[in-house]
Chain A
Amino acid sequence: MTEALANSPGTEPAAPLHLAVALDGAGWHPAAWREPDARPADLFGAAYWADLVREAEHGLLDFATLEDSLGFQSDHPQHADDRTDRVRGRLDAVLIAARIGPLTDRIGLVPTIVTTLTEPFHLAKAIATLDYTSTGRAGVRAQVSLRPADLALFGRREAPDVDFLTGPPERLRAVLEDAFDETADYIEVLRRLWDSWEDDAEIRDAATGRFVDRDKLHYIDFEGRWFDVKGPSITPRPPQGQPLVTALVHQETGHRLLARSADVGFVTPHSTGEARTIVAGIRAAQEAAGTAARPLHVFGDLVVFLDATEAAARDRRDRLDAAAGAPYTSDAEIFAGTAAQLADLLLERRTAGLSGFRLRPAALPHDLLGITRALVPELQRRGAFRTAYEAGTLRGHLGLERPANRYAHL
Chain B
Amino acid sequence: MSNAVDPPARHNDRPRKRIHLAAHFPGVNNTTVWSDPRSGSHIDFKSFVHFAQTAERAKFDFLFLAEGLRLREQRGRIYDLDVVGRPDTFTVLAALAAVTDRLGLTGTINSTFNEPYEVARQFASLDHLSAGRAAWNVVTSWDAFTGENFRRGGFLPRDQRYERARTFLHTTWELFDSWHGGEILADKESGTFLADPDAGRFAHHDAHFSISGRFNVPRSPQGRPVIFQAGDSEEGREFAASSADAIFSRHARLEEGQAFYRDVKSRLARYGRARDDLKILPAATFVLGATDAEAAERSREVARQQVSGRTAIAFLERVWNRDLSDHDPDGPLPSVDPYVGETTLSRGRADTVSGPDKLRVAREWRELAEAEKLTSRELVIKLHGRHAFVGSPATVADRIDELVQNDAADGVILVPHITPGGLDEFADTVVPLLQERGAFRTEYEGETLRDHLGLRPPQRLGRAAGEERNAS
The answer for the CA separation of A153 and B49 in the assembled complex, in Å, is 35
Whole-angstrom distance from the CB of B156 to the nearest CB of chain A? Answer: 15
B45 near A46 (CB under 8 angstroms)?
Answer: no
Does B293 interact with chain A (Cβ within 8 Å)?
no
Q: Which of B210-218, B272-280, B296-304, B425-433 contacts A (4 or more CB under 8 A)?
A: B210-218
Distance in angstroms from B110 CB to nearest chain A CB is 10
Tell me if B356 counts as interface (CB < 8 A to partner A). no
Kindly identify which residue among A86, A100, A119 contacts B193, using a CB–CB cutoff of 8 Å: A86
Binds B, one of A33-41, A331-339, A363-371: A33-41
B215 CB to closest chain A CB, in angstroms? 8
| A145-192 interface with B by 8 A CB criterion | 149-150, 152-156
Q: A164: shortest Cβ distance to chain B, in Å?
A: 18
Indicate whether B90 reaches chain A with its CB closer than 8 angstroms: yes
In the complex, whether B172 has a CB less than 8 A from a CB of chain A is: no
A121 to B88, CA, bound (A): 10
Q: Which among B114, B129, B197, B212 has the highest number of chain A CB atoms within 10 Å?
A: B129
Whether, in the assembled complex, A204 has its beta carbon less than 8 Å from a beta carbon of chain B, the answer is yes
Within 8 Å CB of A102, what residues of B? 45, 49, 95, 98-99
The answer to whether B184 touches A155 (Cβ under 8 A) is: no
Q: How far is the CA of A85 from the CA of B187 in the complex (A)?
A: 9
> Is A270 interfacial (CB-CB < 8 Å)?
no
- Are A89 and B184 closer than 8 Å at their CB atoms? yes
Decide if A87 is an interface residue (CB 8 Å cutoff): yes
A101 touches B126 (CB 8 A): no
Asked if B214 and A71 sit within 8 Å, CB to CB, the answer is: yes
Given contacts A91-B129, A121-B69, contact A133 B188 (CB under 8 A): no
Contact between A91 and B184, CB atoms less than 8 A apart:
no
Asked whether, in the complex, the Cβ of A88 is within 8 Å of the Cβ of B216, the reply is yes
Q: Is the CB of B88 within 8 A of A125?
A: yes
- The digit string for B62-99, where 1 denotes a CB below 8 A from any CB of A, is 00000011110000011011111111101110110111
The answer to whether the Cβ of B186 comes within 8 Å of any Cβ in the partner chain is: yes
Does A405 sit within 8 A of B, measured CB to CB?
no
Does A310 count as interface, using CB distance less than 8 angstroms?
Answer: no
Instruction: Please determine whether A103 and B188 come into contact, CB atoms closer than 8 angstroms.
Output: no
Chain B nearest CB, measured from A121 CB (Å)? 4
| B92: A residues at CB distance < 8 A | 98, 129, 133
Indicate whether B457 reaches chain A with its CB closer than 8 angstroms.
no
Q: Which stretch of B3-11, B146-154, B222-230, B235-243 is in the interface?
A: B146-154
Identify which of B34, B43, B153 contacts A211 (C-beta below 8 A).
B34
Q: Spot the interface stretch: A57-65, A232-240, A384-392, A393-401.
A: A232-240
Q: How far is the CB of A154 from chain B (nearest CB, A)?
A: 5
Given A85-B193, A209-B81, A210-B81, A155-B211 contact (CB < 8 Å): yes
- Spot the interface stretch: B115-123, B331-339, B393-401, B438-446: B115-123
B contact residues around A119 at 8 Å (CB): 113-114, 150-151
Given contacts A86-B193, A132-B43, contact A122 B88 (CB under 8 A): yes
Cβ-defined contact, B98 with A100, below 8 A: yes
Q: Are A210 and B80 in contact (CB under 8 A)?
A: yes
Contact B45 A87 (CB under 8 A): no
B43 close to A121 (CB less than 8 A): no
Select the residue from B92, B97, B311 with max chain A CB neighbours within 10 A.
B92
If A209-B81, A211-B83 touch, does A153 touch B98 (CB 8 Å cutoff)? no
Stretch at the interface among A6-14, A221-229, A286-294, A373-381: A221-229
Q: Determine how close the nearest CB of chain A comes to the CB of B418; give it in whole angstroms.
A: 13
Q: Are A152 and B211 in contact (CB-based, < 8 A)?
A: yes
Q: Tell me whether A69 and B216 are in contact (CB under 8 A).
A: yes
Given contacts A71-B213, A71-B214, A210-B81, contact A99 B94 (CB under 8 A): yes
- Chain A residues within 8 Å of B94, by CB: 94-96, 98-99
Q: Which residue of B lies closest to A69 (CB)?
A: B216
Asked if A95 contacts B125 (CB within 8 A), the reply is yes
Closest A residue to B220 by CB, please name it: A44
Q: Are B216 and A95 in contact (CB under 8 A)?
A: no
Q: Is the CB of B70 within 8 A of A234?
A: yes
Closest to B128 in A: A44
| Chain B residues whose CB sits within 8 angstroms of the CB of A228 once the complex forms | 148, 153
- Contact of B209 with A by CB under 8 A: yes
With A72-B216, A99-B97 in contact, is A94–B91 under 8 Å at CB? yes
- With CB as the reference atom, state the residue of chain B lying closest to A121: B149
Determine whether A2 belongs to the interface, using a CB cutoff of 8 Å to chain B: no
B122 and A95 form a contact (CB under 8 A): yes
B27 at interface by CB-CB < 8 Å = no
- When distances are taken between beta carbons in the complex, the residues of chain A under 8 Å from B95 are 98-99, 101-102, 129-130, 133
With A40-B193, A89-B218, A217-B71 as contacts: A204 and B35 at CB distance below 8 Å: yes
Q: Does A267 contact B (CB under 8 A)?
A: no
A70, B214: Cβ atoms closer than 8 Å: no
Q: Which residues of B contact A154 (CB under 8 A)?
A: 115, 117-118, 211
Q: Which of A80-116 contact B (CB under 8 A)?
A: 80, 82, 84-92, 94-96, 98-103
Residues of A within 8 A of B158 (CB): none
Contact (A217, B86) CB under 8 Å given A34-B188, A70-B118, A91-B129: no
Known A70-B118, A90-B217; judge A85-B150 contact (CB<8 A).
no
| A118 contacts B by Cβ under 8 Å | yes
**Contact across chains for B91 and A129 when beta carbons are under 8 A apart:** yes
Q: Please, which residues of chain B bring their CB within 8 A of the CB of A86?
A: 193
Smallest CB separation, B157 vs chain A (Å): 19
| C-alpha gap A84/B217 in the complex (Å) | 15
Q: B342 within 8 Å of A by Cβ?
A: no
B129 & A204 in contact (Cβ 8 Å cutoff) = no
> Which residues of the other chain, B, contact A125 by a CB distance below 8 angstroms?
87-88, 91
A155 to B175, CA, bound (A): 14
- Would you list which residues of chain B between 305 and 327 have a CB under 8 Å from chain A? 308, 310-311
Chain A positions within 8 Å of B420 at CB level: none
Q: In whole angstroms, how far apart are the Cα atoms of A304 and B334 in the complex?
A: 74
Q: Given A89-B218, A232-B71, is A129 in contact with B87 using a C-beta cutoff of 8 Å? A: yes
Q: Is B259 an interface residue (CB 8 A)?
A: no
* B104 at the binding interface (Cβ < 8 Å): no
Q: Cα distance A91–B219 when bound, in Å? A: 11
| Contacts A69-B216, A92-B121, A102-B45 given; does A212 touch B97 at CB 8 Å | no
Which residues of the other chain, B, contact A402 by a CB distance below 8 angstroms?
Answer: none
B200 in contact (CB, < 8 A): yes
**Contact A84 B117, CB 8 Å, known A132-B43, A231-B149:** no
A206 touches B35 (CB 8 A): yes
Taking CB atoms, residues of chain A closer than 8 Å to B197 are: 82, 84
Measured CB to CB, the nearest residue on chain A to B37 is A206
Whether, in the assembled complex, B467 has its beta carbon less than 8 Å from a beta carbon of chain A, the answer is no
With A38-B188, A86-B193, A228-B153 in contact, is A234–B71 under 8 Å at CB?
Answer: yes
Please state if B91 and A96 are interface contacts (CB–CB under 8 Å): no
Q: How far is the CA of A209 from the CA of B307 in the complex (A)?
A: 10
- The answer on a CB contact under 8 Å between B149 and A229 is yes
| Contact among A91, A212, A234 with B86 in the assembled complex (CB-CB below 8 Å) | A234
Find A91's partner among B128, B131, B149, B196 (CB 8 Å cutoff): B128
Interface residues of A in 236-274 (CB under 8 A from B): 236
* Cα distance A295–B99 in the bound complex, in angstroms: 36
Interfacial chain A residues near B150, Cβ < 8 Å: 119, 121, 227, 229
A85 touches B192 (CB 8 A): yes
A406 within 8 A of B: no
Give the distance in Å from the alpha carbon of A189 to the alpha carbon of B85 in the complex.
18
B191 within 8 A of A: yes
Chain A residues with CB below 8 A from B70, complex form: 230, 234
Which one, B130, B209, B218, contacts A44 given CB within 8 A? B218
A202 at the interface (CB under 8 A from B): yes
Ranked 6 nearest A-B pairs via Cβ: A98-B94, A133-B95, A40-B186, A230-B148, A129-B91, A92-B125
Q: List 10 A-B contacts (CB under 8 A).
A: A40-B186, A69-B216, A85-B192, A89-B184, A126-B88, A129-B95, A204-B34, A210-B80, A212-B80, A232-B71
- With A132-B87, A231-B149 already in contact, 8 other A-B pairs whose C-beta atoms are closer than 8 Å: A43-B184, A73-B216, A86-B193, A88-B199, A102-B98, A117-B115, A212-B80, A234-B71
